[in-house]
Every structure is written in structure tokens, then in C-alpha cells.
């Protein structure tokens, strides 16, 4: 007795997938049916990992096909699941701050560039849902990510510039309008940027978090395997006080993300005409002292120079300039971050 592809599909309509309360055909779980000579092949595509029901559904599908006339066929069933776009991403580095205005996004952008300059495949995700600035800093604010469909699912392709893969909510909203979303909506948007984007192979993915502590931070640590967080501050006591809160948040038992260290931004002012001079406008070594007292690594000092601001506004991160004071500072920062990532890995 012969059996057709249509008969196989009809037989599989009798197999229920109980978690979804419907049959596997209606749920679009049956893919790639082939009937050739004495072989029947098809794929069962589960919407998520389900080891408990995997064998039950497979056995039920084989039995249904055999009863429909496939007893004399070799029945080959493949199990498939949605691909995880983060499978090929090496280390996810979060960049956070206890308060706004400390230059966190500038540091995140330049850290990504400095990591890329070491030869590492690098991406950056702008998780600051309400105030995305990464597109401007990389001169891609008018870009629109491409979208393609595979296995019934749409995938976002990150924009690229300076060899770095870039994604931001800023690509999908009107830049002239305020984004008025409640916490759950913002968290879902962040999840989509992570899980519905084709990041490909990356050594590092830098995540620019919003300032403070809130829903976005919790979503990140609950949904994504973050390798470590670098916290940005400035030397003033008000910024250092908020940095302490960030330490506390990431150290909580239900979060426990390794703290790679503290970055002091705007550490000192150096005029272009006197590159050897350092003027500590906002206080001296406040970040270093806080790191020492908190027993966490101090990752580096980033100078306050006009070109850092200008580079961010022009969409050309200052870390691209090898011979500049700030370029060298971001290079040292990248080296220290990589070193601390290694230290964290060795402890785990």
C-alpha cells in the first residue's frame, strides 16, 4: 500500500500537542514532509524546548502515519526548535550607571569600538528604551534594519558601521516623539531585540543599559546570560553614591551578575594645547577610591576632553583615533574589561 504526502499530513492531524490544546498540523508544527520510495520524512517543530513531550509527540506521529498506511515505510522524524540568536555570541557585557548624565552611552559606544579594534567581532545593543542615543553616536540614526523570514519567523538584521553590529529601539520609533511605554512594554521590546535579531557570530555584545535600576535591568539579567557588568560613574560624590546602589543591585542574590569593575568618566580635563596637563574639575580619584573600598576592580579613567563629546555628536566614536588621549584611554579600558572577563570565567 502506498501513501502520499497529503495522507501523511491528514494522519498527523489526529496527533494532539496538549500544551497548546490543538493538533500538530493546525499548530504548524509539521515541516518538510517527504515521501520517497520506502521512506517517509518529516520534521516536528516545537515552539520552545519541551523534552517532556518530545518523545510522546514523536511516537504518536509515527503511530498515526503507520495506521494511515505507512507500516511498510521507514519513518524518519526530526525534532527541531527555534534557533537561539545568542548561541553564537561569546560574552555579553552590560554597561550600567546609577544615574544619568555620567556619559554611560559614550563609554559603551567607545568600549565597543575599542574591543573591535583588538580584532574581536563586536556588537552593541542600545537597551536604553526611553532615551536611545547609540544610533547617533554611530552615525546610523537614519538607517533601518533589514528583516527576513525563516521557518515562519521574522528576524532583524543589525545595522553595521565601523565593523560593529548595532541595534537600538531608536531604529523603530519616531525620534521626534517621546516613547510613552509602561515597564512591561519596554521589557518586551528589549527581549525582542535580543531574541529576534540575527546577531551571527560575535565575540562580544556590549549592552548600553538605561541609567538607574529598574524593569529593563531585571529583564536583562533574567532573560540573557550576562557575563558581567561595568558600572560608569564620575568623580563627584553624588554620582559615586548612585554607583554604590548599582553595585548593590547587581550583587543581590536573585540577580548575581559579576561586576567587572568601575569606570570613572570625566576624570580630569586636559586641554588640547597642553596634553600633559590634568585638571581634576570634579574631584580626584573618587572612582578609584570607591572601587578599592568596595573591593571591585577599577577599570580605568576616561578624560574630559571636547573631542569625546564632538565625536559622539558627529557619529564617529573617539576610540577610533589611536593616537589621541581618549583613544588610548578607551584602549586601556577594553584591555581591562577583557582581563576581568577572563578572571570571572576562571572563577566559575
Q: What is the pLDDT of residues 201-247, one digit of tens each?
A: 999 999 999 887 777 887 788 788 899 999 999 998 888 888 898 88
CA atoms of 7 and 91, how far apart (whole Å)? 47
Question: Mean pLDDT over residues 305-310, rounded?
Answer: 73
How many residues can be counted in the chain?
348
Q: What is the pLDDT of residues 96-131, one digit of tens each?
A: 998 888 889 999 999 999 999 999 999 999 988 778
Q: What is the pLDDT of residues 39-91, one digit of tens each?
A: 999 999 998 878 889 999 999 999 999 999 989 999 999 998 887 888 899 99
Instruction: Give every CB contact of residue 82 below 8 A, 6+ residues apart in sequence.
Output: 47, 48, 151, 153
Instruction: Give every CB contact of residue 20 below 8 A, 6+ residues apart in sequence.
Output: 27, 47
CB 9 within 8 A of CB 40: no
> Alpha helix locations (H) across the chain?
5-12, 51-65, 104-116, 134-137, 183-195, 215-223, 237-251, 286-294, 306-314, 325-347
Rounded to 5°, the CA angle 115-134-231 comes to 60
Domains detected in the chain: 5-80 (3.30.300.130), 89-347 (3.40.50.300)
Q: What is the pLDDT of residues 167-193, one digit of tens each?
A: 998 888 777 666 666 777 777 888 888
Q: Say whether pLDDT at 153 is over 80.
A: no
Model confidence, pTM: 0.81
Instruction: Give every CB contact of residue 19 below 8 A, 6+ residues apart in sequence.
Output: 50, 53
- Written as nine digits, the cell of 224 is 540573557
C-beta atoms surrounding 9 within 10 Å: 15
pLDDT number for residue 245: 87
Amino acid at each position: 500500500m502506498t501513501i502520499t504526502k497529503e495522507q501523511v499530513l491528514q494522519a498527523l492531524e489526529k496527533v494532539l500537542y496538549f500544551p497548546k490544546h490543538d493538533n500538530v498540523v493546525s499548530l504548524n508544527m509539521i515541516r518538510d514532509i517527504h515521501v520517497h520510495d520506502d521512506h517517509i520524512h518529516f520534521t516536528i517543530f516545537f515552539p520552545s524546548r519541551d523534552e517532556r513531550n518530545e518523545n510522546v509527540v514523536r511516537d504518536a506521529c509515527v503511530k498515526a502515519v503507520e495506521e494511515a498506511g505507512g507500516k511498510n515505510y521507514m519513518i524518519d522524524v526530526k525534532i527541531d526548535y527555534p534557533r537561539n540568536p545568542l548561541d553564537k555570541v561569546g560574552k555579553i557585557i552590560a554597561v550600567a550607571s546609577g544615574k544619568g548624565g555620567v556619559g554611560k552611552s559614550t563609554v559603551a559606544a567607545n568600549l565597543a569600538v575599542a574591543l573591535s579594534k583588538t580584532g574581536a567581532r563586536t556588537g552593541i545593543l542600545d537597551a536604553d528604551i526611553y532615551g536611545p542615543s547609540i544610533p547617533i553616536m554611530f552615525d546610523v540614526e537614519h538607517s533601518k534594519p533589514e528583516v527576513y523570514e525563516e521557518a515562519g519567523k521574522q528576524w532583524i538584521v543589525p545595522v553595521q558601521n565601523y565593523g560593529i553590529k548595532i541595534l537600538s529601539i531608536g531604529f523603530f520609533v519616531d525620534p521626534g516623539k517621546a516613547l510613552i511605554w509602561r515597564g512591561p512594554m519596554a521589557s518586551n521590546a528589549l527581549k525582542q531585540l535580543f531574541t529576534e535579531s540575527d546577531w551571527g557570530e560575535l565575540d562580544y555584545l556590549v549592552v548600553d543599559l538605561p541609567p538607574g535600576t529598574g524593569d529593563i535591568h531585571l529583564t536583562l539579567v533574567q532573560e540573557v546570560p550576562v557575563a558581567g557588568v561595568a558600572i560608569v560613574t564620575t568623580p563627584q560624590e553624588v554620582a559615586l553614591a548612585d554607583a554604590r546602589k548599582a553595585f548593590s543591585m547587581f550583587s543581590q542574590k536573585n540577580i548575581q551578575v559579576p561586576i567587572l569593575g568601575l569606570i570613572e568618566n570625566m576624570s580630569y580635563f586636559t586641554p588640547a594645547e597642553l596634553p600633559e596637563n590634568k585638571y581634576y574639575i570634579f574631584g580626584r580619584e573618587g572612582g578609584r577610591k570607591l572601587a578599592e573600598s568596595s573591593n571591585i576592580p577599577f577599570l580605568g579613567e576616561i578624560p574630559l576632553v571636547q573631542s569625546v563629546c564632538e565625536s559622539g555628536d558627529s557619529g564617529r566614536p573617539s576610540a577610533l583615533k589611536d593616537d589621541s588621549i581618549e583613544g588610548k584611554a578607551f584602549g586601556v579600558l577594553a584591555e581591562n574589561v577583557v582581563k576581568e572577563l577572563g578572571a570571572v570565567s576562571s572563577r566559575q
